[in-house]
Every structure is written in C-alpha cells, then in structure tokens.
Structure 1
C-alpha cells in the first residue's frame, strides 16, 4: 500500500542572498505515480537579529541522512557580521560532510568554495 505524501509540505522555498542551497533530485512515489522533485542537499540560512547575525545549516542526503534547524536565537549561534556567520555555517556543514555520499560530499565542497569566494 502506498502512502500519500503531501508534496507541497516539503521544502520548496524561493531562496535569497541569506538563504543558500545546493539542490538534489529526489524521486517520490505517491498516489498517481512517481514524481521527481528538487530538495536541498545542503542549505545555509543567515538571519539578522539585534545587530548580530544568526546562522543555520541543514543537509538532506539521498542515503537517508538528514538534519537541520532554523536560525533562531535559542540555538545561540551568533556572529558579529554576516560574513563571519557564513564562515561559521560553512565550518558546521564541513563537519557534517561524512554523512553524505561521496558524490554529494564533492558537490557540497565545490559549492561551499564558490559561495565563500564570491564577492560580498
């Protein structure tokens, strides 16, 4: 028996400069047949809060490994500048690379290099 999945409840937000993601394709089997959709393989969110910057990271691997959170004050993840928050988020994602497949790990490393070297 196939369970019905409400596909519109899954992440599919419009990203902005403070919300960066590298996407991956996922085949979902739902009533009515299979559908391919884009999911964030890795995501960094930056959010200003009271003169400082918060960050959050998430991963969603094709191997089933997934973790993440939103940038909220309760996590205590603060940096003085947006650039510093981005660097700390990148460091945190690097710490989770072992949870990704080999191919995904390489994609995320290249992606992080691109966003960290991009002009501010």
Structure 2
C-alpha cells in the first residue's frame, strides 16, 4: 500500500506564493498600491495573475498579522498604499527558505501528472 507523504493542496499553497510576491515587491520598490502589486505579479508570472478579491483578502491577512501597514492616499478611498513591516520581512525570509523546496516538489508532481496524462495519448 502506498503511503501519502503530501496532499495535492499542500504541495504549494497559492496564498504563500502571493504573500511572497507582495512582500518581495514591497521590499524592492517600497510602498505600493494594490493595483501596482497586481501588475507586478502579472509581469513576473508572464500574464498569470491573481483574482483581485483574493489579492485583497491576502493583503487583509498580511495587515491583520502585522506584516504590512496600509493607509489611504488623501481622500481617495479606493487608493490604499501598503508597505512592509519588520514582521513582514521576517515572514518573507521564512517563505524564502520554505518555498524553493515546495516549488521543486510541485514541479515533480506536475511532471508525474503530465506523464499520466500522456498514458491516454491515442485513446
């Protein structure tokens, strides 16, 4: 009987990828608007983006955990700036250590799945 070492849902968690990218751009480029971070993700992932509502949810999570600060730009209630905190830097460094192994595992799983898909070639 095969032993389960991982579940597909835990191979790479999308929220960790988003958190890493958000915290990374805030470190590299300083304060950012939500839409600037969304555009950054699109550029870095060659057109693959994140649902705006989901990005907002992740930003709320990062704020609630103390990893980012946020504030309004004047009276424009739709323009909210974000910046990274010391806690955010610590969380980013933790993700930087964990994610490469997770990405490698995800690539392995997808290669195995790709091989399985090809078992049906010609059927």
- Same-fold call, TM > 0.5? no
Q: Considering Cα pairs closer than 8 Å and 6+ residues apart, tell me whether 1 or 2 has the greater RCO.
A: 2
Higher helix share: 2
Bigger Rg over Cα: 2
